[in-house]
Structure 1
Amino acid sequence: MSASDSGGPAGLAWTVHCDGSAMPNPGRMGVGAVITAPDGTKHTLSQATHAIGCNNEAELLALTLALQDLRARGATTVRAYSDNSILVEQLGAAGARPVARMAGLFDEARALLGSFAHAQVQWIPRHRNSEADALARAALGFAPRPPARFRKRRR
């Protein structure tokens, strides 16, 4: 199934919140993911890579590693969430302009997504992906980002 398919039994879906960091950008890459089983059990992934890359590559690597983990766990229905609009656009839109230097990584992610009976990749705002972001940053030895402050507008 393609990344935009949303079918499948909702109660059997595994969810993934994934994020990646590169410090500096480009630089060392760290990946993080929160994988939630259909029964609500949470598993986390947090690791640094030996490769150098940009944030977009780290984000895609985080998704790929999480999908590999889900394959090993026997998952068949997956909902993945990322705050990286490039990743979501590339995996979900048939007519998206390819990012040439990351084509191999995108091909690998598409193949993994296609190996599930049902798979969906959806964009979420950064503040809803803070746990995966903290895991990616921790893999590189950095503290979580401070929460965003929302200011009240004056009229």
Structure 2
Amino acid sequence: MIEVYIDGASKGNPGLSGAGIFIKSGEGQERYSIPLGVHDNHAAEYLALIHALRICQEKGYEDIISVRTDSRHVADAVEKEFVKKEPYRSLLAEALELASAFPLFFIKWIPESQNKTADQLSREAIRKNA
């Protein structure tokens, strides 16, 4: 099983944003800090998920992908395959399409206290925008 911890952050809403991705697999741990440009916080969270799933595809992971996020909004939207607000519909659709490529995909909400590495990486990514 591949454990993927994600976090999206924005400095301002909208503002400079970043994605933090922390992957734990049988091969070890990987950390990614990806600048996203200007987005609101929810969009940054979706983009963190999208980037994480792309990375898993590029790495050729074919195991169970278990994503952990401290965004209830994203976790609920993915589980229900629905989001009300228009700006997030295309991001959710892209995330669901990427997730469907894996034999088993799960997403789980976790408290911020359990997502500190991804949070730190997302904040580093904000600084990389400048």
For 2:30 and 2:115, the matched residues in 1 are separated by 15
Report the Cα offset of residue 140 of structure 1. Answer: 1.6
The correspondence for 1:45, drawn from 32, 47, 51, is 32
Structure with the larger strand share: 2
Match of 1:145 in 2: none
Match of 1:72 in 2: 58
Match of 1:17 in 2: 5
Match of 1:117 in 2: 103
The TM-score with structure 2 as length reference comes to 0.92
Listed one character per residue, the Cα deviations across residues 46-68 of structure 1 (whole Å, up to 9, x for unaligned) are 02123x21111111101110110
- Structure 1 counterpart SS, 2:117: helix
Identity of aligned residues (%): 27
- 2:106 matches 1:99: no
For 1:140 and 1:86, the matched residues in 2 are separated by 21
Report the Cα offset of residue 74 of structure 1. Answer: 1.1
For 2:48 and 2:75, the matched residues in 1 are separated by 13
Unaligned runs of 5+ in 2: none
Match of 1:85 in 2: 72
Structural mapping, 1:125-136, within 5 Å: 125-136=111-122
- Structure 1 counterpart SS, 2:13: coil
Report the Cα offset of residue 40 of structure 1. Answer: 5.4
Unaligned runs of 5+ in 1: 1-12, 143-155
- Superposed CA RMSD in Å reads 1.5
Tell me if the contact between 2:83 and 2:89 (Cα under 8 Å) persists in the aligned partners.
Answer: no
Report the Cα offset of residue 19 of structure 1. Answer: 0.1
For 2:41 and 2:101, the matched residues in 1 are separated by 26
* Structure 1 ranges of 4+ moved more than 2 A: 96-99
Listed one character per residue, the Cα deviations across residues 121-150 of structure 1 (whole Å, up to 9, x for unaligned) are 0000011001100000011229xxxxxxxx
Task: Select the structure of larger CA radius of gyration.
Answer: 1
Listed one character per residue, the Cα deviations across residues 78-104 of structure 1 (whole Å, up to 9, x for unaligned) are 00000000100100025x443211111
Match of 1:63 in 2: 49
